[in-house]
Structure 1
């Protein structure tokens, strides 16, 4: 859905952008489809297209990651004969918010995580919880396995997915997906808000509303399909 919306928006904006360029009046970078992605810039209808482009351009992806508040290190590609290799991956080691444990991630996944943190988690925490999120508790990113019940490799097999189980606030509170998702209080509202915001950054977002296998975490990936459940 994110890719489709971005493409449709791009078609409508292309004429305006072309006219601006011809007239030597360039749009602001966050409205320019060909300008580098700045994680902290306001989201516009072309942001989704910029995110999609990162999957085809490692150079653009690393540049976008440089604009984030995540701490990361590049890792070497690791070819695999069984569909579990790494390509254009990084190790996330810290930042704001930091991960509970360092994790391998494809560069596009890392950028999407940074976008979600800046545009989704931070404002949702301010609105619903009154305290910033200090740490994300996750259940890993790189696991050589198939999607449950299939013979198709999971996005986790190439570090292109992450499962988020809980959010730890700076004031010490812990918001847990399994415990708080359905609650009517601020914790439940926060979780549902960050799930909705994740759909703007990731290709696939699966949570407790999807099925029982996801009732205790948010699965986020940058795969070939689109879903927001």
Structure 2
């Protein structure tokens, strides 16, 4: 069904908040780069997600905190997946954020694109991050959900009449995922001093293909 843009007279921009995330006073703020424009409700949920999930996962897997996230889409007046004929996206309300990378206090950077199939601890961290997001947001789409999300984690607070929650792929504990990855390649561990960054770059194409299956019935997308 084609939808036309709202007429200018009926459109009201969301209450916008362009600052850093501040999950707790003890861990310090998390920079969002480039600066993201978001509606106030999702900011409080992002803060809670970072305090309760992201920072604990960072400490567990890497012994340090996240100091910056790279976002690739926040407030953007568009249809779902950038399609002008699709339903209006949650991004158009400042109600969604796409996260592509996490940077740690020591400068290490984990991208969703490479880390999702990268080193065991990278996979473990990202899966714990996604599982925690599924407890906070109404929509979470990560690599493997469909072709549009092979390189980022999409979170939003879309309200559905059915109250249905979307968490794709299904949440799995980071410990389980990391254990599987270590069994496949017991030498792939960044805890060794000569291994830096993600070693999963060569899997990018296959990861994209793995995530290329789109569930037409649920119409998962960048909400």
TM-score (norm 1): 0.61
Distance apart, 1:85 and its partner CA: 4.1
Which among 166, 179, 197 is matched to residue 227 of structure 1? 166
State the match for 1:125 in structure 2: 58
Q: Deviations over 1:149-177 (max 9, x none)?
A: 55210000111100000000000100100
Equivalent residue for 1:156, pick from 91, 97, 100: 91
Contact 1:83 1:153 in 2 (8 A): no
1:170 matched to 2:105: yes
Taking only aligned residues, the RMSD between alpha carbons, in angstroms, comes to 2.1
Deviations along 1:35-64, whole A, 9 cap, x unmatched?
xxxxxxxxxxxxxxxxxxxxxxxxxxxxxx
Q: Secondary structure at the residue paired with 2:107?
A: coil
> Could you tell me whether the CA contact under 8 Å between 2:17 and 2:38 is conserved in 1?
yes
Q: CA deviation at 1:147?
A: 0.8
Counterpart of 1:71 in structure 2 is: none
- Residue 87 (structure 1) aligns with: 14
Q: CA deviation at 1:92?
A: 2.1
Distance 1:159 1:120 in 2: 22
How far apart are 1:87 and its partner, in Å?
2.6
Q: Contact 1:143–1:156 (CA<8 Å) still a contact in 2?
A: yes
Compute the displacement of 1:81 (Å): 3.0
Structure 2 unpaired stretches of 5+ = 1-5, 23-28, 169-223
Alignment partners' CA distance in 1, 2:73 and 2:98: 6
Q: Following TM superposition, by how much is the alpha carbon of 1:97 offset from its aligned partner in structure 2, in angstroms?
A: 1.5
Q: Secondary structure at the match of 1:102?
A: coil
Corresponding position: 1:206 with 2:133: no
Structure 1 position 188 matched with structure 2 position 123: yes
Is residue 92–residue 105 contact of structure 1 (8 Å, CA) maintained in 2? no
User: Contact 2:91–2:97 (CA<8 Å) still a contact in 1?
Assistant: yes
Moved more, 213-222 or 182-191: 182-191
CA contact under 8 A between 2:21 and 2:46: conserved in structure 1? no
